[in-house]
A and B are shown apart, each in its own frame.
Chain A
């Protein structure tokens, strides 16, 4: 089977049979000049989204375009490009869409700030709640009442 027929078959699988996930393990045997590059290759190929597939990174996708982008990634790494340069290169051609880790900008501020903001708001809410609780102990049950409830709650064990 020639390379192009295979590419055609993959293209058919990727672009026409949308419903069937493509899950061929992608195994390629690049020779890296250093283990650091290989590590960065693995990280970046998992952070870049295959532009015309379903939700898959270029490392896992068998689509021709993913294969092309892996080659580009490999070459650029070997040529000494930084991660930022490579990401900028990809984004210029395929849009923000290719980044699984969206860059921080005005639009994505919500996304990146949300966890921290929610956590702080929630913690503040909890603290004020606990403070109220402590202050409201005046109307709380007496020890005797509480003991009675505890006893009643335990009772059905019998």
Chain B
């Protein structure tokens, strides 16, 4: 009964979503206030019924109802309850329902926090999101019904959740990632609504900006968790593989980065309006493209969902409607007259555009690399693979290119600045950073390392810009005391994100350059050295988990004769699937991780063991965490709260521009 109720709830949500997609939009054309006013209630209605469907599917999972196909395929009675719950989104059908739930959640959030906005705008924004929801609900109901039953041949037990996914990381990684992915539908909907109304002004940018920042922040956090999860769960200590599925989430992030910066210019200066709208459309389009790539099977990936051309075709048609429709609207309605606001090539505007240039080129390059095998195949030009060596070779220089501008940006003035002033602000401390960079580059294991010197230089340079800006803000015009209260959430968020970016770059370069690794055969009592650390294999044993049996090896790690950690890597065999999993043991700290993974047993008493020393690898995730949290912090800026009063002022401002 419960799955049927869930199915009905999903159908009701679908009907309400159609209502949301049609009625307020129609109302907005006819200026029918009553119809437009229905948008928030319909949005909430969709959310409620999707949430009911989601909850009922969760109940099916928790109650081990193996008559439900997805439960039978992805759960097992021995699975710990928390993983039974997260198994819900460890598969195509369930993750799609999670996607829709999060989309509905964003709609409700927009309905709740946008009361101060003009009704015309809100109703159109919600209606556009409703259209997206219609597409995904139809996708779910027509091709991927999560409530499908296996009657009368109900299996006695389920196939179990892929052991890889039986991990706390999977409980939070997909929801966060989807928060970001789907959250980009909000700036998209604002962009479409603005194009329809022909009102692409600074107020539109101001309404859209906090949503964009928050969505982008969640996307950053989601990607960070994915990378972290891969690092400790896949067992070989890699943290980014340039796999198509990773790229699918990375492309919207890159485009989102361009959008976040372009919105800043549009909000503050009213310029690049068409451009910003286009980026908002692109960012969400790339989310949809990612969905297509992950679920259609057109690319080979280590962790794609089951390939299904029928589903692929459905998403492709949906993609064509949404993206094609939006770009057509853009072509027809985007203002062709450039705003007349002036600025020089040496200004904050131009620096932000350099950011846009680099991030858009990066997005296109990642897209091209990801699709290149498909392009070649489509034209029968052969089978190619494009992997990490290519992406690293092109992506690293692009990031290095943008970093010199990153520290100048926040310090520079809008409209007109001078390079002389930039030099005055940054030259002397910049030389200091250079000296430090060269000094630090000698600390590595093999003498001077140019890559590390460059990484420290660029990261230090970015941090320098942030601290200079900070100092200027709290001291300017102040007599004596520092004015900490002048630091707005906008500034704090930006500073965190920039520092976080610098930390990611530093961590990535240092761990790639200074990583040490040994593959060894070790028996009980063996002692092996890696750098300054000595690893002793103390004992071997077995340990039963709830749904697996693990071989364990106990290692004692010493440095300077002092025991600093006892690490217990495991090799698990899961009962239901018979799959073997490597469970690495990690001693983590800010400056280095020690990482032990078991390979295979060699004879009776020994194991093949991989020992790794990974300096500064934590900086990657701490940095990404700062980027994500920084973006979330910006949304608390006061100027986004008083949207109603700001609107009239901005309208006057725009009137002044136009007049």
Contact = CB atoms under 8 A, between A and B. Distances in A.
Interface of A: 13, 19-21, 23-30, 42, 46-47, 49, 54-57, 60, 95-102, 107-108, 110-111, 114-115, 118-119, 122-123, 126-127, 129-131, 133-134, 136-137, 139-141, 145-146, 148-149, 152-153, 155-158
A19 B394 CA distance: 30
11 contacts: A21-B303, A23-B581, A49-B387, A57-B388, A100-B389, A101-B389, A107-B376, A122-B360, A136-B342, A152-B649, A153-B268
B143 interface: no
Contacts of A47: 387, 389
B300 interface: yes
B657 interface: yes
A145 B385 contact: no
Nearest to A61: B302
Interface size class of B (residues with CB under 8 A): 35 or more
A35 to B, nearest CB: 10
Contacts of B599: 24-28
B646 interface: yes
A133 B344 CA distance: 7
A47 to B, nearest CB: 5
A27 B376 contact: no
B513 interface: no
Nearest to A22: B302
A97 B393 CA distance: 19
Nearest to A149: B653
Contacts of A102: 372, 384-386, 390
Given A25-B599, A30-B519, A141-B340, A20 B653 contact: no
B393 A56 contact: no
Kindly name the residue among B350, B387, B639, B645 whose own CB sees the greatest number of chain A CB atoms within 10 A: B387
B15 to A, nearest CB: 33
Interface in B349-384: 350, 353-354, 357-358, 360-361, 364-365, 368-369, 372, 375-376, 381-384
B343 A133 contact: yes
Contact of B341 (A46, A96, A140, A156): A140
Nearest to A27: B599
A21 B233 CA distance: 12
Kindly name the residue among B301, B584, B599 whose own CB sees the greatest number of chain A CB atoms within 10 A: B599
B601 to A, nearest CB: 10
Nearest to A10: B580
Given A27-B600, A136-B342, A111 B372 contact: yes
A101 B390 contact: yes
B520 interface: yes
A114 B364 contact: yes
A108 B384 CA distance: 9
Nearest to A43: B389
Contact of B357 (A107, A119, A155): A119
Contacts of A133: 342-345
Interface string B189-204: 0000000000000100
A25 B582 contact: yes
Nearest to A59: B236
B342 A137 contact: yes
Interface in B431-479: none
B608 to A, nearest CB: 4
A133 B271 CA distance: 11
A158 B577 CA distance: 63
Contacts of A130: 344-345, 350
